[in-house]
Structure 1
Amino acid sequence: MMDHYRTLGLGLDASKEEIKEAFRRSALKFHPDKHSRSSREVREGASLKFKQASEAYQVLIDDRKRADYDLSRRLGRTPSSTSSSYYYGYGGGSSSSYYRPPPPPRRDGTSGFDAGSVFRYVTRRGFLVNVAFASALLGGAILIEKSGEALWKMNNSGKSFEEALQSVEKGKIQKEKN
């Protein structure tokens, strides 16, 4: 696992200003344009270090991504090497940013249930929007059902549905006779 703090030369308690400054220094040192006339090995090495610094900056500057990264470091998990694996919610990122592979099995043989992961999933904006939409649909269906029953009882007091159908049939027969 790549250590984003080490990549930028920062401590674990670095502020956002320190992260920005460390990235600026790293970007100036390893930017591909600066090494355009260097040998191929130097160019590729600088390009790789610039990409690593960019990824580290994207993770550490965003509070949610940084918290997720710090948690994965403490738990000893290896997050994906792409910054999109730290993305939450709608918009931005590639379509692959919505898929997270399941965590690797634990060494102690337990199921690997993590209440923190469940909480993060349940509090995601997309999940909450879907729950609200489903609740609105269910509420609308219940409202329509209850109002239909109320209208039936208002217009057909004391009659069952079968009795109402029989009276409609009788009305049709009498209409045909006339």
Structure 2
Amino acid sequence: MEYTRKMLAEELGCTKQTIATYAKELDLDGHVIRRGQTDYYDEVAASAIASRASGRFARQQEAKADDPADLLQTMLEHYKSEVDRLRAERDAAEARHEAEIERLQQLLIDERELTGMMRSQLMDEARKAKEAASRAEKAEAEASRYRHALAVIEVAPFWKRASLARTALALPAPSTQGE
């Protein structure tokens, strides 16, 4: 019996080009007859091509031999398992996203607490710096007052120096009690 390329392709579950490629690989030129534009393969060529394609297209041939109801049942089970797998992936992704959201929220809370602590520390440091500047300003003013008083005392006559020193430098009055 003679087989066309189309007949072999349908029976094996592959394309006509695959049949032509296998015929060329197996060097079956002596078993192929060309009439017009159609190639006819004899039984030797057909069995050689079928054995060459058996490993690759075996599952497709088995599926064609199955009952359509069994095939539909198999497909239904496949799609159900695929849906279950996709649901599990979605649930896992949702769990990962929720965990990531919680982690980021905790980081935000920690960052806000740290910012608050840093702000209060900076305010304390600024207050301390203002106090130190105020003390330094007071000390500078007092030192300036003392320098001025010393300058006045130095130019005053010696008999007025003691009273000027007590007044200008706010020294205590000499005690009148004798020891």
Name the TM-score, length of structure 1 as normaliser: 0.28
Q: Which has the higher strand share?
A: 2
- Higher Cα Rg: structure 1 or 2? 2
